[in-house]
């Protein structure tokens, strides 16, 4: 599973924006056929995305496609047409407003029907309604294709009846931890939703630091200027990686002791797991390991 430090959402209706996005420092480009596309432009946007994917040669960055809901008039056609034409070039499908395990299972069965071209297509689930948040544990267990849970704030705020004033990171702590726990319980990535105030750099920094401290793997971006801040926070720094390797080496040479002193503090098996997680994040981000 590749890193998703900063998935960048791009309107699927704009080939120019898609071409620009794949040249940026981004782990994943999300071609959006849902919220970023007006109803009258849905059919044309699907054609733009399918054609763009058919012509792709480079495997990096990964391309995800956010389709429309299957309960509407466009969702199933989004999946069938895009996957049929460019399945091997699609990293994953992002399913919006997932509310129950069956929403994932339906897409799983549809992909199975599409045959070998859909074999490598993974699924990501957007949790952005009260019902989805309530059942997120069931959703996380719904399919082996599922790779990530994404917390979507705008639609979730509307679903909960929250006002725009309820925007502080701490006001979303229950939703964040609920999604994070479900993801970790089933070996999935947990991706924090986007910060829509694209000119508020200080606000973005606070929210990115908050999500990283909680344990999220990345945060959606909705503008290229957000990428540098997000990537920096979710990429292990050299000193962090050096310390992780030093902890692993100290425990390896501890001669059977369960807990030992390291830099004035006690470390143990839990410390080893945290260090291994840091090393795994570095590998996923394509960094060279730093020896202790």
Cis peptide leading into residue 217 (ω within 30°)? no
At residue 112, the pLDDT reads 96
Pull the structure tokens for residue 109.
Answer: 């069965």
pLDDT, tens only, 6-24: 999 999 999 999 999 999 9
At residue 168, the pLDDT reads 74
- Residue 263, phi then psi, degrees to nearest 5: 50, 45
pLDDT, tens only, 71-119: 899 999 999 999 999 999 999 999 999 999 999 999 999 999 999 999 9
Instruction: Spell out the CATH class of 8-233.
Output: alpha beta
At residue 58, the pLDDT reads 81
At residue 292, the pLDDT reads 42
d(CA 148, CA 161): 26
For residue 54, the tally of other CB atoms under 10 A from its CB is: 11
* 97 φ/ψ sector (left φ>0, alpha ψ -120 to 50, else beta): left
At residue 4, the pLDDT reads 95
Which CA distances in Å does 155 have to 50, 77, 190?
Answer: 26, 23, 18
At residue 57, the pLDDT reads 78
Residues lower than pLDDT 50 in the chain: 290-292
pTM: 0.86
Q: Where are the domains of the chain?
A: 8-233, 238-284
């Amino acid at each position: 599973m590749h890193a998703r430090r900063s998935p960048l959402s791009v309107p699927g209706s704009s080939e120019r924006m898609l071409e620009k996005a794949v040249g940026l420092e981004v782990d994943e480009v999300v071609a959006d056929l849902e919220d970023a596309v007006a109803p009258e432009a849905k059919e044309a946007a699907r054609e733009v995305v399918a054609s763009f994917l058919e012509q792709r040669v480079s495997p990096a960055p990964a391309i995800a496609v956010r389709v429309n809901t299957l309960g509407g008039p466009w969702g199933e056609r989004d999946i069938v047409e895009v996957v049929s034409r460019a399945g091997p070039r699609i990293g994953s499908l992002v399913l919006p407003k997932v509310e129950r395990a069956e929403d994932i299972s339906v897409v799983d069965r549809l992909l199975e029907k599409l045959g070998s071209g859909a074999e490598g297509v993974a699924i990501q689930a957007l949790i952005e309604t009260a019902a989805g948040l309530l059942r997120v544990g069931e959703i996380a267990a719904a399919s082996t294709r599922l790779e990530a849970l994404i917390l979507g704030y705008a639609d979730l705020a509307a679903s909960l009846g929250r006002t725009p004033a309820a925007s502080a990171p701490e006001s979303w702590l229950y939703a964040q931890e609920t999604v994070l726990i479900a993801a970790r319980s089933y070996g999935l990535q947990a991706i924090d939703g986007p910060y829509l105030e694209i000119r508020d750099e200080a606000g973005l920094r606070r929210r990115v630091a908050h999500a990283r401290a909680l344990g999220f793997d990345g945060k959606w971006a909705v503008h290229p200027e957000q990428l540098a801040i997000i990537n920096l926070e979710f990429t292990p720094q050299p000193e962090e990686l050096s310390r992780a390797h030093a902890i692993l080496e100290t425990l390896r040479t501890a001669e059977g002791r369960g807990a030992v002193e390291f830099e004035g503090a006690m470390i143990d098996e839990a410390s080893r797991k945290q260090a291994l997680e840091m090393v795994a994040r570095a590998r996923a981000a394509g960094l060279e390991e730093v020896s202790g």
